[in-house]
Amino acid sequence: MPYARTGPGNANDGGLKFDLTQYNQGYFDRLHGRAEEAGNRGMYISIMLFEGWSIDNAWSSGNPSGYRNPNPWPYHPYHVNNNVNEINGDPNGDNDGGEIHQLLIQAVTSLQEDYVEKAIDEFNDLDNIIWEISNESRYYSVSWQYHMVNHIRSYEASKPKQHLIWMNARGDWNNSALFNGPADIVSPNNSSGTDYKTNPPATTGNKIIMLDTDHLWGVGGDKVWVWKSFTRGYQPIYMDPIYPITWSTNTWNPNNPQYIGARQAMGYALSYAERMDLSGVTPQSSSSSTPSSTGYCLYNSGEQYIVYQPGTGQFTVDLPAKIYGYEWFDPETGTVEDIGTIVWGGGNYTFTPPFDGRAVLFVTDEPVAPVPVINANPISGFSPLHVDLDGSGSYDPSGGTIVSYEWDFTSDGSFDSTSAVTSNDYRSSRLRVFTARLKVTDNDGYSGSNTVDITVDVNQICDFDNDGDVDQEDFGHFQKCMSGTGEPQNDPDCLDALLDDDDDVDLADFVIFQGCMSGPNIPADPNCAD
């Protein structure tokens, strides 16, 4: 919990009472670490500031299976029995904390504002944060959520970074409260007259709409829903059920084809999203047949189109006069079935999928690039690791020929080989992952790139030739790699000589090497660097 448990006295769960004016720093540090790790992987996270179900005694009602917990409110920090500050979040005594998600108790609102400010102070250094006000608070919380959105904006205004803010709807909401509210991102429900489940209307761009299966179904969504949502301009997110849903017709089964299909479609749609300039695309109006007769198209006219065919057979796409590359993707099998180029004079072009059933078509005004194929052997081992690299399987899907191969063994921006088949020795003084990059160019001048990761570990530090001893031959390699204090050693052949893990090879590294010298044919001490 974010609050410190200081006592005196015990809360309803038997632990010390909370002090709502003191924070549990470990809570924020742990969350910050996870958020930072996610950012390093290119992921946004939402930090959920409040939780609608944590105050609501409806949590346990109507659940004959009993999978849900009992009423959580008696254990909430704002319950009068659980804090040393004499805060009573349930003044009407109905065993439900709904009052704290309304602007009814000034002392509570002030504490919540302080907590929000604490969170902002802790996370303002990160770029990959979205503030989520609350998960599925009841409709009575609208004014309170607006207040928190505005408080975040006001407090972040003087900070180095400002972040997107998210509101979502529970089943009792009217979605107009989301679309007319101050949040940047919204997640509507399916009970306000709009069919977000089977025929989502095209987005307008007024809000970022994270169409969430949880808020539409509870448990639901499939691969068709993912593609329809994506091509109508939404950010679809899928809640994979992780518990036995014995109270539902959708009893949990990890191998349920519906759930597998939804997961896979999320990944497939993401792969195409990453190939598009999403800032420049527009979803086709759901009431229009332009540009695609399928009605499902995300596009930037004359540049990029992603089209979903929810039925089967031919369809048209209105394309300005140009040369286009196209790609057919089978969403049922997850495979690219055909790639090619068309020269078009403008107007409706009729596309015929090369397979039956639902189809995804990707069209771009960039002619199809050649496809680099890398075979690396081995891809892991001990330093020095000799790796054979073979790019001869690369090909041009538009029928051209590969005319050049350019290898960058460590992705440092410089090319190290121009042969289709080559090799490299990877060296390291510690566990390190190198990324080898291959760029191929076809006879039309178009290029494509691909990478492979090479993992190199150390069997014995200072045994640079990996023969089991540390002797004069190893010293010769170390001597060649000496750079001097403060002079970075960037030669890939010398990365195994960075013995003290700084950027130079100097006297400090020599002292470590000297301590590891064993002599010819004398096994080196594996702990010599200690």
479-506: per-residue pLDDT in tens?
A: 999 999 989 888 888 888 888 878 899 8
- Structural domain that includes position 476: 466-530
Picking from 5, 27, 26, the residue whose alpha carbon sits closest to that of residue 16 is 5
- Reference 296, options 374, 254, 236; nearest CA is 236
Domain assignment present for residue 494? The answer is yes
**Domain tally for the chain?**
4
Do 446 and 484 lie in one domain? The reply is: no
Q: Is there a single domain that holds both residue 494 and residue 411?
A: no
Asked if residue 442 and residue 482 are part of one domain, the reply reads no
Q: What is the pLDDT confidence band of residue 311, given thresholds at 50, 70 and 90?
A: very high
What distance in Å separates the CA atoms of residue 242 and residue 222, rounded to the nearest whole number?
A: 16
**What span, in angstroms and rounded, lies between the C-alpha atoms of 500 and 212?**
49
What CATH number is given to the structural domain containing 426? 2.60.40.10
Task: State which of 436, 457, 478 marks the end of a domain.
Answer: 457
Q: Are residues 228 and 306 in the same domain?
A: no
314 and 268 in one domain? no
- Residue 362: which H helix or E strand, with range? strand 359-364
Whole-prediction pTM value? 0.70
Inform me whether the pLDDT recorded for 66 exceeds 70. no
- Is the pLDDT at 409 greater than 90, yes or no? yes
CA–CA separation, 306 and 314 (whole Å): 15
Co-location of 99 and 147 in the same domain = yes
* Mean pLDDT calculated for residue range 456-466: 86
Distance (Å, whole) CA 452 – CA 456: 13
Beta strands (DSSP E) in 239-311 are: 282-283, 297-300, 304-309
- Residues 6 or more apart whose CB falls under 8 angstroms from that of 381 comprise 455, 456, 457
Residue 159: pLDDT band with limits 50, 70, 90: very high
pLDDT value for 429? 84
**Of 344, 364, 384, the domain-final residue:** 364
CA quadruple 272, 275, 278, 281: dihedral, nearest 10: -80
* Contacts of 484-492 spanning 24+ positions with Cβ under 8 A: 492/409, 492/410, 492/412, 492/426, 492/427
More confident residue, 489 or 133: 133
Q: Which letter does DSSP use for residue 202 in this model?
A: P
Task: Give the mean model confidence (pLDDT) for residues 370-385.
Answer: 92
Helix pair angle (223-231, 257-273), 10° resolution: 30
Instruction: Rank 124-133, 217-226, 320-329, 464-473 by mean pLDDT and report only the highest.
Output: 124-133
Model pLDDT for residues 225-242, shown as the tens digit of each residue: 999 999 999 999 999 876
Closest by CA to 436, choosing from 393, 394, 387, is 387
Residue 105 and residue 230 share a domain: yes
CA dist 389 and 378 (Å) reads: 9
- pLDDT grade for 67, boundaries at 50, 70 and 90: very low
Query: Where is the domain boundary, 411, 435, 457?
Result: 457
Q: Give residue 463's pLDDT band: very low, low, confident or very high (50, 70, 90).
A: confident
Rounded to an integer, the average pLDDT of 138-167 is 97
Q: What is the pLDDT of residue 242?
A: 65
Same domain, 450 and 495: no
Q: Is residue 6 assigned to a domain?
A: no
Check whether residue 389 and residue 254 sit in a common domain: no
Do residues 466 and 446 lie in contact, with contact meaning Cβ atoms separated by under 8 Å? no
294 within some domain: no
pLDDT tens across 95-119, in order?
A: 999 999 999 999 999 999 999 999 9
Q: Which range, 78-82, 235-239, 246-250, 364-368, is most confident?
A: 78-82
In this structure, the answer to whether residues 403 and 351 fall within a common structural domain is: no
Residues 127 and 259 placed together within one structural domain of the fold: yes
For residue 385, being part of any structural domain is answered with: yes
What is the distance in angstroms between the CA of the first residue and the CA of the last residue of the chain?
A: 41
Q: Has residue 263 been placed in a domain?
A: yes
Per-residue HEC secondary structure of 53-110 comes to HHHCHHHHCCCCCCCCCCCCHHHCCCCHHHECCCCCCCCCCCCCCHHHHCCCCHHHHH
The SS3 of residue 280 is helix
Q: Is 23 helix (H, G, I), strand (E, B) or coil?
A: strand
